[in-house]
Structure 1
Amino acid sequence: MPPEPAPTTAAGVVLARIHLVGVGGAGMSAIARILADRGLDVSGSDVKDSAVLAALSVRGVRTVVGHRPENLDLFGEQGPTAVVVSTAIRPDNPELVAARDRGIAVVRRADALAALMIGRRSICIAGTHGKTSTTSMLTVALQHAGVDPSFAIGGELNESGSGAHHGSGDLFIAEADESDSSFLAFAPQGAIITNLEPDHLDHHGSAEAYAAVFDAFVRRIVPGGFLIVCLDDAGVRALLDRLQRNPSGVPEGLRVIGYGTAADAPIRITAFGADGPFSRAELVLPDGTSAAIELAVPGEHMLRNATAAFTAGVLAGVSPATMVEGLASYTGVRRRFQFKGRAAGVTVYDDYAHHPTEVRAQLEAARTVVPVGGGRLVVVFQPHLYSRTATFAPEFAAALSLADVVVVLDVYGAREDPQPGVTGALIADAVSAPEVIFEPSLARAADVVAGLVRVDDVVVTMGAGDVTMLGPEILDRLDAGPDPDGALGHA
């Protein structure tokens, strides 16, 4: 594929030689990969080495570990035309400070991604939950149809092992992040909103402000575009009511297509079915015809996401039958109920859920793969962010109570400083499952879990932090066999 012209941001910054600060992150590495595949000069830095940096290096990206001002010299005397940053980069980052001192344009990640979409039919997937899965399903189905879309996803497809691709087709599929309002940089032809309920209040400040940013996102859709929404979700219903009461700025000719089990949904789900890790939904389409979506992943929430992806694909020009075939080939995304292994009769999965609604939905789905009559559902949950833990502790506890055994770790603070009195114990103390353990030490967690599980149990490590490392450790402990005191696994 011949190189494309360097993209230009809405502010007029040409992305010809680009340095990305924090290039190892999912969103930043996606941009780096697409830019490199377009034949452009790309460099990037991250705090630690990783497989992501190695993969980018293979694609020609100049990568370096550590943040230093001299990283801006990786292109030699020319220097970068722009430095791309995400909101996770602190203002005192030495590379960001150096870029400003040298007069180099600083571009937000979302603005760079928006520039990559120019000239293509873009479909952006937004919502409090399900963005990554829905974006991935749509991408895989379109690839199956031979469309070869460009895509940028906040996770890695199981099919390709990548979360980004520069496609030869005219479609661009992107996950739209509302956490910092950055998705307002996009002007898509079409959009999906999977659901809407309060989250990221550390940035937005209130539930009302969080909802309002989705209203603004809808107004960013180009005239004549489409909006696909889940009519089973109260937050989405409220959004549509607000837009109807205040139509100022709503794109002219906007097509709104609803899906779900609701009686007034044009794309109506009439039945759900499950068979272990497989799931099925029966659909009735606006013309009265029917379709059946089958997935190799469990959960009604996944089937709703698949229905959204199905609808977007059909609106993009793919036949319903081809979309159904493509969705059947979807096998999931890394860290979305990802199978990690089986040892000593115990099956281990890993999941990214870090909001109460996500936790509840995933545990309901996980219950369908627990052997009937013997196994237990064991969840190892790591709260993400002190602010989210303080705000939603009762809701997390209620969701986790769906499991038989709950191990709560301490809070993964990420970008936040600790808050006095806010620990994982806030959640653990309120869980009503038959067995609950608060284990503040991540280093001890694998031993604790291996010591309490039984044959036929299903373990789910869950959270947005480093809890993802526990799955292999738990499996290693179980592989070691019973310890002298009778526990199933030991160190």
Structure 2
Amino acid sequence: MRVESEPPFSFRGAHVHMIGIGGCGMSGAAVILSALGARVSGSDGFPFSGVGALVARGINVHLNHDAVHLPPQAALVVISAAIPPSNPELQAARQRGTRVMKYAELLGLLMRERQGVAIAGTHGKSTTTAMVAHVFRTAGLNPTHVVGAAAEQIGGSAALGDGPHMIVEACEFDRSFLQFDPVYGAILNVERDHLDCYREFDALVDAFAAFAQRFHPDGLLVCSGQDACARRASEAARCRVERFTIEGDGHWNATAVMSQAGRYRFTVQYSGVRRFDVELIIPGLHNVGNALAAAAVADGAGVPAEAITRGLGTFRGVGRRLTLRGSGRGVTIVDDYAHHPTEIRCTIQAAQGAYAHRRTWVVFQPHQYSRTRYLLDEFAASFGGVDEVVVPDVYDARGDETTERSVGSAELVRRMTEQGVNGRYVASLDDVTEHVASHAAEGDLVLTLGAGDVWKVANGLVERFCPAVQA
């Protein structure tokens, strides 16, 4: 367990300034702090979709970074993991001696007052976290939750509940999840990613093991029984560990898995005994695994089986996850956050299963030069069954003058071409939109993929092909 090195903090009446407030997690945390009675302000380097909602709550938001934005009465400054030491507001806070903590530290602090539920993994965290929150809400438990994605069905990316649980997405970047001491939770999978932070894959697996070790001894950790590294990490846990599998031999097992129009129904077994049936309305085989993990976590926390089945069966997903943006003139446009090779493959497969198509287009915007460099060959091999892949410039959210940019979109397209993929490098998003709009035809499926601002291409295509749909 963590040894507390910081004194407790009373939020009611305190002024909290949040640097990088535009991220889903940070903006969600701002909502919770405001609900707890804090006076909240914040800044971000870019406009973001939720700024209006924050302002409506009385939160003062600046759309640039400047030391003058730091209120003189600020008692606490919270920064996102992407904020560099050179940020002028952060520097001003340190010069004043204002207490500073990272976003994950804040969540860890809030979790101390509740039974923590933390969902970790390279992929599927946002969906599964929101799924667990929806199941708990269906059961009437009214949890507090923080999800790193838009989740309108559960009241947004974050909400303060009056129930005993706090459900959070536990991110491995910057070892953020080591700020949490959960009672219940999951490790969905462990794959190579964030190697700019960890350098070696073994160090990443070790971090997941350290996360597993933080679970309360009387708690429950659920992990994939079909992911060797997730199993390895779970061995460090001091609590009960249960594994989930699809047509396997885990404690929790999905059997009789069947698909219709890309949506799945299956039977959930525990220790070989049938518990209940689930029918999902969100597409993709990968969501069978997410749902199984959510069911196991909810069951461990005492949620009744009826609420688990009803919650999973009514869950509508989160923003930018296989989101149908529009369909017009015979062209279907789907947007997704996929930014890792495994996510890309799963998303393409799920979209092709869910939507009729003649040809499949993918617009993939790489996210971070470091990830592109470390996973270059894996990315190049991720587009099987796609008719044309259009790749704009890398979205470099954390880049600075030291960023290594020798491997970018042009090199990725070259590697894709060597593997027989019909790839095209088009630098700007505007030019990408023009290219796809000029060449997509009736019956085509267009996927926009990436963790950056590639959704702008989806917006542009919706305006071109389905002007009646609000972009």
Residue 436 in structure 1 maps to residue 419 in structure 2: no
| Residue matched to 1:37 | 35
Stretch of structure 1 that moved more, 374-383 or 132-141 = 374-383
Q: Tell me the matched-pair count.
A: 458
Letter in 1 for 2:245: G
| Residue matched to 1:452 | 439
Letter in 2 for 1:388: R
SS of structure 2 residue aligned to 1:400:
coil
- 1:407 maps to which of 377, 390, 400: 390
| Residue matched to 1:376 | 359
| Residue matched to 1:464 | 451
Letter in 2 for 1:86: S
SS of structure 1 residue aligned to 2:294:
helix
Question: Identity of counterpart residues, as a percentage?
Answer: 37
Normalising by the residue count of structure 1, what TM-score does the alignment of the two structures yield? 0.89
| Residue matched to 1:276 | 261
SS of structure 1 residue aligned to 2:191:
coil
Map residues 147-296 of structure 1 onto 2, 5 A cutoff.
147-160=141-154, 162-240=156-234, 243=235, 250-251=237-238, 254-261=239-246, 263-286=248-271, 288-296=273-281
| Partners of 2:128 and 2:420 in 1: CA distance | 31
| Partners of 1:59 and 1:188 in 2: CA distance | 30
| Partners of 1:33 and 1:129 in 2: CA distance | 25
| Partners of 1:287 and 1:401 in 2: CA distance | 36
Letter in 1 for 2:385: L
SS of structure 2 residue aligned to 1:297:
strand
Letter in 2 for 1:386: Y
| Partners of 2:288 and 2:203 in 1: CA distance | 29
For residues 379-416 of structure 1, the C-alpha deviation after alignment (integer angstroms, 9 at most, x for no partner) is: 11111111111111111111112322221222112212
| Partners of 2:62 and 2:381 in 1: CA distance | 44
| Residue matched to 1:63 | 61
For residues 50-84 of structure 1, the C-alpha deviation after alignment (integer angstroms, 9 at most, x for no partner) is: 442221122222323322222222xxx6x111111
| Residue matched to 1:484 | none
- 2:52 maps to which of 37, 51, 54: 54
> Structure 1 regions of 5+ residues with no counterpart?
1-8, 481-491
Q: Is the 8 A contact 1:158 1:331 kept in 2?
A: no
| Partners of 2:15 and 2:286 in 1: CA distance | 41
Query: Could you tell me how far 1:208 is from its partner in structure 2?
Result: 0.8
Letter in 2 for 1:455: E
Query: Could you tell me how far 1:47 is from its partner in structure 2?
Result: 2.3
| Partners of 2:390 and 2:365 in 1: CA distance | 9
Residue 118 in structure 1 maps to residue 112 in structure 2: yes
| Residue matched to 1:351 | 336
Q: Is the 8 A contact 2:209 2:232 kept in 1?
A: no
For residues 453-490 of structure 1, the C-alpha deviation after alignment (integer angstroms, 9 at most, x for no partner) is: 2212111100011111111201222358xxxxxxxxxx
| Partners of 2:297 and 2:443 in 1: CA distance | 39
| Residue matched to 1:388 | 371
Q: Is the 8 A contact 2:131 2:312 kept in 1?
A: yes
| Residue matched to 2:87 | 93
Letter in 2 for 1:230: S
Query: Could you tell me how far 1:277 is from its partner in structure 2?
Result: 4.5
RMSD over aligned Cα atoms: 1.9
Change (3 A) 1:479 1:149: closer
Q: Is the 8 A contact 1:13 1:105 kept in 2?
A: no
Q: Is the 8 A contact 1:145 1:322 kept in 2?
A: yes
Letter in 2 for 1:458: L
| Residue matched to 1:485 | none
Letter in 2 for 1:359: I
Runs of 4+ in 1 over 3 A off after TM superposition: 48-51, 417-421, 432-435
For residues 75-132 of structure 1, the C-alpha deviation after alignment (integer angstroms, 9 at most, x for no partner) is: xx6x111111122111111111111111111111111111111221110000011100
| Partners of 1:281 and 1:397 in 2: CA distance | 33
For residues 265-305 of structure 1, the C-alpha deviation after alignment (integer angstroms, 9 at most, x for no partner) is: 01111132222242222221237124222111111111100
Query: Could you tell me how far 1:420 is from its partner in structure 2?
Result: 4.5
Q: Is the 8 A contact 1:380 1:408 kept in 2?
A: yes
Letter in 1 for 2:133: T
For residues 154-186 of structure 1, the C-alpha deviation after alignment (integer angstroms, 9 at most, x for no partner) is: 001142561000001111100001011011011
Change (3 A) 1:263 1:206: same
For residues 352-378 of structure 1, the C-alpha deviation after alignment (integer angstroms, 9 at most, x for no partner) is: 01111111111111110232xx62221
| Partners of 2:266 and 2:344 in 1: CA distance | 22
| Partners of 1:181 and 1:239 in 2: CA distance | 14
SS of structure 1 residue aligned to 2:390:
strand
Q: Is the 8 A contact 1:405 1:433 kept in 2?
A: no
Residue 303 in structure 1 maps to residue 291 in structure 2: no
SS of structure 2 residue aligned to 1:294:
strand
Change (3 A) 1:12 1:434: closer
For residues 115-156 of structure 1, the C-alpha deviation after alignment (integer angstroms, 9 at most, x for no partner) is: 111221110000011100100111112112211110000001
Change (3 A) 1:375 1:161: farther
SS of structure 1 residue aligned to 2:273:
coil
Change (3 A) 1:68 1:88: same
Change (3 A) 1:479 1:222: closer
Q: Is the 8 A contact 1:366 1:377 kept in 2?
A: no
Residue 109 in structure 1 maps to residue 103 in structure 2: yes
SS of structure 2 residue aligned to 1:19:
strand
Q: Is the 8 A contact 2:369 2:405 kept in 1?
A: no
| Partners of 1:421 and 1:386 in 2: CA distance | 8
| Residue matched to 1:487 | none
| Partners of 1:411 and 1:67 in 2: CA distance | 23
Letter in 2 for 1:215: A
